[in-house]
Structure 1
Amino acid sequence: MNMANKSFWKDSEILECVSVVPEVPNTATFSFRSPSGAYFDYKPGQFVTLEIPAPDQPGGVVHRTYTISSSPSRPGLIAVTVKAQEGSIGTRWMLDNLKPGMRMKAMGPAGVFTNADSKASKYLFISAGSGITPMMSMTTYMWDEGHDLDIVFINCAKRPSEIIFKQGLERMASRAPGLDLKFVVEEPDPYSPWTGYQGQFNQLMLGLMAQDYLDREVYCCGPEPFMQAVREALAGLGFNMDNYFQESFGAPVKTEAEQPDLDDVIPDDESKAEIHFTSSDVTIKVPETETVLAAARSSGLNIPSGCTFGVCGTCKVKKTKGEVHMVHNGGISEEDVEDGFILACCSHPIGQVEIEC
């Protein structure tokens, strides 16, 4: 596209809404144009901040940040896809009131969550809910630019009917063999069979969806507990976290300096832990990367086990003191964890730990 004679939009110019497309419940895509006809210049994955009327709020407006769901390869319009959560003010106003022809002030684009400057050839996009929006922008951009796609695209939602962009992604994937879609839902829709992945995203699913995940650059977006689970799953499988990038849809950042430090507990092979098996009165020192199950076996102790992947729950034991880093795959309930139980096969001791065994 020849843009030599076109100007580019500056956020001093107000935007005009030109279309509203319902997506899934409480979710819609709003497209805007520049009244002057200027093009939009941004990187896929970046965001804009909208000034939204809010009569009940101080100043009468609220400012809400939304990832751009459109692609810079289509510069005539810019679009955001918004989902109202419980208690939403700005997003709820947009869904209830914003119509084509209305104008809004916007600031940006900004943000550092983008693969535009990446040299990687293989990607793994992992998102939950409306965290799919930057992944859609990056995928569309690569498709439009004629890249040889090699993307495993994973999105998690509560139900199939709540997967944003599902039909659009399936159409794209039907024309691009390198776009591999994987959807995970918590539960099926009533009277509608679901044959895909179901449950909470975990290590086992990751291994089935992208067997070569160690060779891919990972981009993740969603609520913080979801992203933490993804980070722990990857770290537990030996992934190089230098190739992991994330953006919370609740708090996108403008610059690299604003990126939060990820203080996840990651077992260190150089650090030693001490496990005291109280029933047997056996104490052993092991690297933090050793599992409680492996430590018990090396000491001649028997903890019953089955899958060794944190699924079956056979190796559940009581931890009476200390901390472990446990990344399981559904084999233990939150109630049991709160009561001090762990799965020995996927728990790594941190510091001094006591186990009933």
Structure 2
Amino acid sequence: MSRLQVWQDQSKDPSVYTPATGFLNDRQFGIILLALLSISQLCSVVAIISNSLNITVFVRLGFSEPSNISLVALAASDLACVVLSIWTNSCYLLRSMDVRLPFDATNVSFLTGSAPWAFISRTVAWITAFISFERCLCILVPLKVKKLITSKSTFTAMIIIVIFTCFPFLYVVLRNRFAWIFYPYLNATILDVVPIDNENFIQIGYIVVVCCGVIQPLLAFFIVLMCTIFLVITLKKLSSWRKSVTSAKSQWQHKPGENPASNSPPAQDRMSQKEKRLVRMVVAIAAIFIVSYTPTCIMLVFSVIFDEFTYFGVYKRMYIVCGLATFFTQTVSGGVNILIYYNMASKFRSALRSILCLDLQEKEK
């Protein structure tokens, strides 16, 4: 028997290998898994429809406004994540129902589903960070931002983000390979994923895990969090200034000698109504992202602190449950963005209603 078959047999044959259970027994793990997978699949269908509509609307609106480019990239990344999560969840569902497949559902879905999903989810995080940072620049340097943030520079930034976040996936592809393996306990040959034993790959793997698996997503999360806090504070200041001006106007009506115009806002608070709506929309997108991405960050921190909290560790089942939970939260996050755009962007609302022929239906009524 070859070395490859020994490794595979030890990881598959229930007489040799006892899966780690951690805190969950078979029944608990099965119930949680089935519930998470079922809900995620339903939400994924909705997310595919909503993100497809987002892309269609923003493409119709055109790319004269740089923000449309980043929002299309965000919707496309969300859509890719949803498609990958559907594939991964389907494999786990079939595995949980003991459906006989010509491939190993867990390992194949890892290489073709959950692994690329993890890298593309980093893309979502960094695009959200870019959108948030762009709004901060519009407030801090409003006169220079139009020269800095153009359609061309935004498109270039999106390409750089995709390369920066997804290029390390090449390591995962090179580190593993597909192979047809015969398993005696199944009495069948099935397609599986086999890791390549190479010292260089192992050393590079540590760098990829730390940089791309921990530092990269946590840094993006921190940028979004800081930018969102800054934008919320700015909006509150602007609201306070508006109230003070309104109060000053009412006093000036009784005291003609005073001029409320002297109480002018700071430079960063002088925004048009269009800019204010855009800032509020970005804050809403960022806030939903923060809520949905927090479980991912917690999971990453735990995987660093506890060595056994991995796919191959003692707490494998807890790791799988947490991983599928992050699929669910980020799928919901990508799916509800259409509601934010519809309620806060009049051009988006008009274009969407036109695509869905809602205005024509109202006229016919």
TM-score by length of 2: 0.21
- Comparing both structures, which one devotes a greater share of its residues to helix? 2
Higher relative contact order (CA 8 A, sep 6+): 2
Higher Cα radius of gyration: 2
TM-score by length of 1: 0.21
- Comparing both structures, which one devotes a greater share of its residues to strand? 1
